[in-house]
Every structure is written in structure tokens, then in C-alpha cells.
Homo-oligomer: A and B are copies of this chain.
Amino acid sequence: MANIDFIEGIGLLAAALTTYSFLPQVYKTWYTKDVSAFSLTTFTFFFIGIVCWLIYGIYKESLSMILANAITMVSSLIILILILKYRKP
């Protein structure tokens, strides 16, 4: 039981870190509109990948994966939209 709690603790810490880590990037990009350094390919495939992780987490019934990937999906979608909106043609 204690071991399961430890593992789920690591999972929730991982979920919290990878999820909330994107918020400063969303905030910075939202205000600076500076998207020149971003790879559009990276954020497109990353977003699709996160959607797949979310589906996988739902099947695996992993609360950590579902919570993390649902929020990361929204954050990465916002960054992707900002890249598409502000990139130089």
C-alpha cells in the first residue's frame, strides 16, 4: 500500500510538472507573440501525440495520465494556435 502510494505520488508529481510547465510558455507566448523559435512540426505532432496519450490513459485507467494529458492537450493547443497565428509566412 505504501509502495503503491509512492508510485502514484511520483506519477502525480510527473503529471503536475509536465502539465503546469507549459503554462509559463503559454503566458510568455501570449504576451510577446514571439513564435519565431518554435518548430511548427514539433508542436503539431506533440499535440496529436498528447491526444493519443490521453486515449491510452483512459484505457489504462490511469488517473495521473488522464489529468496530465487533458491539461497538456489544452496548453499545447493554445501554443499551436499562437504559432499558426503569429508565424511569419
Contacts and interface: CB of A to CB of B under 8 A. Distances in A.
B37 A28 contact: yes
Given A10-B52, A39-B24, A59-B10, A45 B17 contact: yes
Contacts of A7: 56, 59-60
A74 B11 CA distance: 19
Interface residues of A, number: 43
A39 B10 contact: no
A51 B48 CA distance: 22
A1 B7 CA distance: 27
B37 A21 contact: no
Contacts of A53: 11, 14, 18
Interface of A: 7, 10-11, 13-25, 27-29, 32, 34-39, 41-46, 48-50, 52-53, 55-56, 59-60, 62, 64
